[in-house]
């Protein structure tokens, strides 16, 4: 903690006035990162999420082997699922049919982002977003079609 305070020039009392701990600092921006999903008017733009992952690669890559990453990933994935749930509500998906697509989209994004980080964020964010989007669109289409109107089982 002292290293963070020394590097930023922020006093301990000022830090604790804004954050409870280092974990709070690391996860503080997660809600704003998911706004392109939860507040989307039309199809959500996922490119800012992929751009953020690429931008944070120098920080995230070393954390992949640290237990703290699990907490950060869980927090980010929970917030993504909440954002997708909000989006699904906005397009009229009944509450009882929001959990599965929201969790699929959040978990899918996190899994792709983790592998993409390990691959050096190649291809770039535009290309990975272009590759991911048809799958997210398919999940959204199925969620919007309602129960019993999706593909035959």
Per-residue pLDDT of the chain (153 residues; tens, 9 = 90+): 788 778 888 888 888 888 888 777 777 777 777 887 888 888 888 898 899 889 988 877 777 777 766 777 788 899 999 999 999 999 999 999 999 999 999 999 999 998 999 999 999 999 999 999 999 999 999 998 865 444 433
pLDDT, residue 116, reads 94
What was the pLDDT predicted at 146?
64
Q: How many CB atoms lie within 10 A of CB 43?
A: 12
DSSP assignment of 36-98, as one string?
HHHT-SSS---HHHHHHHHHTHHHHHHHTTSHHHHHHHHHHHHHHHHHHHHHHHHTT--GGGS
- Is residue 120 domain-resident? yes
Residue 99 domain flag = yes
* Overall number of domains in the chain: 1
- Report yes or no on 65 lying in a domain: yes
**What residue numbers bound the domain in which 36 lies?**
29-145
pTM of the model: 0.76
The answer to whether residue 43 sits within a structural domain is yes
23 inside domain: no
Q: Is there a domain that residue 133 lies in? A: yes
């Amino acid at each position: 903690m002292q290293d963070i305070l020394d590097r930023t020039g922020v006093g301990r009392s000022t830090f604790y006035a804004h954050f409870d701990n280092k974990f709070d600092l690391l996860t503080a921006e997660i809600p704003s990162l998911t706004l392109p999903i939860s507040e989307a008017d039309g199809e959500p733009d996922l490119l800012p999420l992929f751009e953020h992952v690429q931008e944070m690669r120098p920080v995230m890559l070393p954390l992949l082997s640290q237990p703290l990453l699990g907490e950060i990933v869980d927090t980010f994935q929970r917030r993504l699922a909440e954002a997708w749930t909000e989006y699904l509500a906005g397009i009229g998906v009944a509450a009882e049919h929001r959990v599965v697509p929201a969790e699929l989209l959040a978990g899918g994004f996190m899994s792709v982002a983790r592998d993409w980080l390990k691959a050096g964020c190649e291809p770039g964010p535009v290309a990975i977003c272009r590759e991911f989007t048809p799958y997210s669109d398919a999940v959204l289409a199925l969620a919007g079609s309602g129960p019993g109107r999706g593909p035959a089982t």
